[in-house]
Every structure is written in C-alpha cells, then in structure tokens.
C-alpha cells in the first residue's frame, strides 16, 4: 500500500532528486523559464483502489495537508468506479513558482548564494558561463573560497607562464598553500579562462607536478644521482653528484659507457670503469633519462633485479634508448644464484607483456611471471660483478 500514492516524504525525496540534477540552476543561468514544475503521479488501477480504499483515502488526506502547509498544488482526476462511485484521485503535483519550490526544499539560502556568486563571476569573467552551466554545484561546493579562486585565476590570466615557484606568487590575500590545496578546481577554472597559448593543454592530470608544468610554473625537479667511474673525467674533483634533471640533460660528459643501476648501494659500490659513469636509484622513474645528451651516442647497460619489475624497467628504458643492453639479468646468472631467490607477492608482480625485450630476456621474464621468483641484485657477489665488467 505504501507505493499506491506518493507520501509527503517520498515527494520530498523526488523534489530533492530534481534539484540535484541541476536543471533549476541551469535555467537561471540561461534565463529560461522553469516553472510551473510538475511532478506526475502514477496511475492507480481500479482494483487497487477497491482493495485499498481506506488506506488510499488516508494517504490522500496526508498529501493534501502537506500541500496546504508547503504551498504546492495537487491536481485531481475525477474517475467513476463501478463499486465506489465518483472519486477524486491526485495525479499531478505542481510547484507554481520559485519561492514555493525553494522553501519546500529549504534551498532558498543556497540559491541566493548561487545567484550572488554566479553574477559576480560572470561580470568579471563571462567566459565561465558554459562551465557554470555544466557544473553548477561546483560553485556551491567551493562557495566559501570562490572569491579567492577567482582572484588566483585573474592573477594567472594577467601573467601567463610565469616561470616561478608557487611560493613566489605575490597575490594579495592568497598564500601558496591555498593554491597547493585547490589545484584541481583551479585547473578547471583556468582551463576555461586562459587563452590556449597560456598553458600546455597536452599535460593532463595533477600528478608529477602536472599543475605546475601545465601553467608554466617552476617546481622541485627530480634529481639524477650519478658517479663518475673514471678518475680522469671528474668534475672539479667531484665523482658523486646529484643534479636536477633539467641541469643533467645538457651536461656534456666525455663518457663512452653508461651503467644504470636500480639499487642505490649497488651504484655507490660500483667498480671503477674507463670512460664511464653509473646512474642509480631511479627505479620506474628511469624515463626521466629521456633525451639526455650524454646518453645519446654511448653504450648503455641496465642492471636491475632479476624479477618482473626489473625487466619492466629495462623495457621502459629501451623505449628511449633501443641500444641499451641488460647486465647480469640473464638465465645463467639466475641459475647460479638460484639458492638466493625469494618469492614475489602475486599481487605486486608485473603481469603485462613487455614490447622492448629480446627473445632471451622475454623467456626469462615469462618464467619469473609463472614462478614469482626474484633475485635481487644486491644478492649477487661483488666479485661476480667485477668478472662480468672485465668481460665487457
């Protein structure tokens, strides 16, 4: 019986769902009529009317009482029932105007705030109209800080591609933490407000300093740590250095061989080698080495763990440097130190196929996927490494 006629509670839920669709806000922004707003009620079958007549009459009374209290209108349909005679059954709920609807949903204050903020926004930035029509509730979500968001956007619009750190921005009333905490919504607004030439549209997402890269800001660049393995090539006597990637890229080093090692300690202990350097500690961030000047025309060796992730990193490196060869990541090494292997958790193992492995490497990679065994590079003896380097 509870589903025969809509209850005041169910009607309120229906009204809130209509509100949550946002069409009321969109109609306001587009200056389109929205009222009267009509909600149709389902038809009641003659047999249901007969079987639940008393309950239905009670429900109708409750609905009419609620309508009188809340201000909405009920439209009835006069039906002739063979047993019950003439009956008036509600078939339509109507909210005649904005005031009735807003008071009914207790949204008058929220809508008043929306009107004020949207009017101010469009006066300053008419270009935001389409975005507000698509996402009206985002304005409500960020209402408390909306003024500050627009101040930041106005500042960026006047100074595209500033090439400075967030900490250096001198925006009155706004600190750098505010921008750090609200990058997602600022990114949406700036995309609407800035000229296409003022940002890099191809950079999407906020991870890896995406906001800063997209809008021409500086950020803490990742460091490339390397050791020069030939005493004749030291830089002012320095052999162990860490440089931001943008400073490492153009660095001119007269090296013929570059070793890339996954483990930091393995890199620190790596033996001296003529005309060579070792880069270490990058892991999956090995793609940071793309377009490095000193790597373009030299021999490159990658030494990683003999596990699914080690080969995944090798494949990623070869995407940028097809000439890269694996070092101590072969079946012979795996068998020699098999007694030192450990199990890799199935949930963390790399499962995808890799497109930049040679046939021998791919066979071992598939074996590791099946067995979940892994041989960490630091488990190999130092003398074994030295013999391998001599063989090169």
Q: Are residues 48 and 194 in the same domain?
A: no
pLDDT attached to residue 84: 62
Overall pTM surpassing 0.95 (yes/no): no
Q: Are residues 243 and 114 in the same domain?
A: no
Query: What confidence tier does 364 reach under pLDDT thresholds 50, 70, 90?
Result: very high
Q: Are residues 172 and 257 in the same domain?
A: no
Q: Find the mean pLDDT for residues 102-124.
A: 96
Taking the C-alpha atoms of residue 314 and residue 292, their distance in angstroms, rounded to an integer, is: 17
Each residue of 192-236: pLDDT tens digit?
Answer: 999 999 999 999 999 889 999 999 999 998 999 999 999 999 999
Mean pLDDT (the chain, rounded): 92
Domain boundary among 214, 234, 258: 214
Asked if 280 and 228 touch (Cβ cutoff 8 Å), the reply is no
Domain count, the chain: 3
Q: Are residues 98 and 115 in the same domain?
A: no
Structural domain of residue 70, as residue ranges? 8-105
Share of the chain above pLDDT 70, in %: 95
Each residue of 65-80: pLDDT tens digit?
Answer: 999 999 999 998 877 6
Query: What confidence tier does 1 reach under pLDDT thresholds 50, 70, 90?
Result: very low
Share of the chain above pLDDT 90, in %: 83
Taking the C-alpha atoms of residue 62 and residue 47, their distance in angstroms, rounded to an integer, is: 22
Q: Are residues 116 and 242 in the same domain?
A: no
DSSP letter (8 states) at residue 306: B
- For residue 148, the surrounding DSSP H or E stretch is helix 146-158
Each residue of 118-129: pLDDT tens digit?
Answer: 999 999 999 999
Q: Are residues 246 and 368 in the same domain?
A: yes
* CB atoms closer than 10 angstroms to residue 277: 23
pLDDT attached to residue 56: 82
Q: Are residues 177 and 79 in the same domain?
A: no
Q: Which residues contact 305 (CB under 8 A, 6 or more apart)?
A: 262, 263, 374, 375, 376, 377
Query: What confidence tier does 49 reach under pLDDT thresholds 50, 70, 90?
Result: low
Residue 42 placed within a domain: yes
Backbone φ/ψ region at 85: left (φ over 0), alpha (ψ -120 to 50), beta: left
């Amino acid at each position: 019986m509870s589903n025969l006629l809509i209850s005041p509670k169910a009607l309120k839920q229906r009204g809130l769902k209509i509100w949550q669709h946002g069409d009321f806000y969109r109609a306001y922004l587009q200056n389109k009529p929205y009222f009267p707003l009509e909600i149709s009620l389902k038809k009641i079958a003659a047999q249901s009317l007969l079987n639940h007549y008393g309950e239905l009459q009670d429900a109708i009374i409750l609905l009419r009482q609620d309508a009188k209290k809340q201000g909405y209108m009920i439209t009835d349909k006069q039906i002739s029932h063979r047993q019950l005679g003439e009956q008036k059954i509600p078939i339509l709920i109507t909210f005649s105007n904005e005031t009735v609807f807003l008071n009914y949903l207790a949204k008058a204050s929220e809508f008043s705030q929306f009107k004020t903020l949207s009017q101010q926004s469009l006066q300053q930035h008419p270009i935001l109209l389409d975005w507000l029509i698509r996402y009206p509730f985002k304005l409500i979500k960020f209402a408390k800080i909306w003024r500050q968001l627009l101040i930041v956007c106005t500042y960026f619009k006047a100074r595209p591609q500033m090439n400075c750190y967030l900490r250096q921005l001198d925006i009155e009333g706004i600190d750098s933490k505010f921008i750090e905490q609200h990058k997602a919504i600022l990114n949406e607004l700036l995309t609407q407000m800035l000229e296409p030439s003022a940002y890099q549209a191809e950079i999407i997402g906020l991870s890896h300093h995406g906001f800063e890269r997209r809008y021409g800001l500086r950020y803490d660049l990742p460091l490339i740590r390397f050791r020069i393995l030939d005493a004749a090539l030291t830089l002012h006597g320095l052999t162990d250095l860490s440089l931001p990637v943008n400073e490492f890229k153009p660095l001119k080093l007269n090296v013929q061989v570059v070793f890339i090692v996954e483990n930091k300690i393995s890199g620190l202990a790596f033996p001296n080698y003529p005309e060579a350097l070792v880069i270490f500690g990058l892991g999956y961030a090995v793609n940071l080495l793309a377009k490095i000047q000193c790597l373009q025309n030299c021999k490159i060796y990658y030494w990683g763990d003999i596990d699914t992730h080690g080969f995944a990193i090798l494949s990623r490196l070869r995407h940028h440097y097809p000439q890269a060869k694996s070092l101590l990541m072969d079946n012979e090494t795996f068998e020699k130190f098999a007694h030192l292997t450990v199990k890799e958790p199935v949930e963390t193992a790399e499962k995808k196929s890799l497109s930049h492995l040679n046939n021998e490497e791919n066979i071992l990679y598939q074996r590791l996927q099946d067995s979940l065994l892994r041989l960490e590079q630091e488990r190999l003896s130092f003398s074994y490494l030295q013999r391998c380097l001599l063989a090169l």
